[in-house]
Amino acid sequence: MTKYLFIENEKINGCGEIKRAEPEIINLEVSDEIYSNYIIEPYKFIYKSGSVIQNPEYEKLKTQKEISDKISAISLQLEILDKKRIRAVCENTVKNTESGQTWLEYYNEEAKKLREQIFQLSDLL
C-alpha cells in the first residue's frame, strides 16, 4: 500500500495511507521506511526543496523531548506526593520514632529533591 506524508505550508503535518483531498495539502509519496520512522519519531524528518530529508536538528530536538518527558514524569510524581503531604498534614504522625521525623517532613524533603531535579533539567532545555 502507498504511504504518504502530508505537507502543508512547507512543513510535514501528518501521514497516512490515503491521500488527503484538501487543495492546500501536498500528498508526498514516501518509502515504507520513512513512513514507519516518521510515525515513531516525527521530528526526524523535515520537508525541504520538494523532498523529505533527515532533520539536521533531530538530535537536539530528540534530547529536548527526552528532557521534557522526564520533567513531565517528575511533575506527576510531585502531584502524587502533594496528595500524600495533604494527608500527612491532617494526620500529623511520626514516620521515624528514632529521629522524630514526621511524614510531612519526609514528604517535604522528597518534594524538594524532585523540584531540584526539575530545575536542573529545565536548565538543559
What local confidence, expressed as pLDDT, does residue 92 receive? 83
Question: Global pTM?
Answer: 0.71
Domain containing 108 equals: 59-124
- Total number of domains in the chain: 2
29 alpha-carbon distance from chain centroid: 28
Do both 28 and 70 map to the same domain? Answer: no
Q: How confident is the model at residue 1 (pLDDT cuts 50, 70, 90)?
A: confident
Do both 51 and 70 map to the same domain? Answer: no
| pLDDT mean across residues, the chain | 94
CA of 113: how far to CAs of 11, 21, 27, 44, in Å? 40, 52, 48, 34
Across 2-16, average pLDDT: 95
pLDDT digits (tens, 9 = 90+) for 59-104: 999 999 999 999 999 999 999 999 999 999 988 889 988 999 999 9
Do both 97 and 84 map to the same domain? Answer: yes
Do both 12 and 32 map to the same domain? Answer: yes
Do both 116 and 65 map to the same domain? Answer: yes
- Strands, E, within 1-125: which ranges? 3-8, 11-16, 26-30, 45-48, 51-54, 94-96, 101-102
Do both 46 and 69 map to the same domain? Answer: no
Do both 66 and 77 map to the same domain? Answer: yes
* Region at 100 (left for phi over 0; alpha for psi -120 to 50; beta for the rest): left
Would you call 60 helix, strand, or coil by DSSP?
A: helix
- Cα–Cα distance, 45 to 55 (Å, whole number): 5
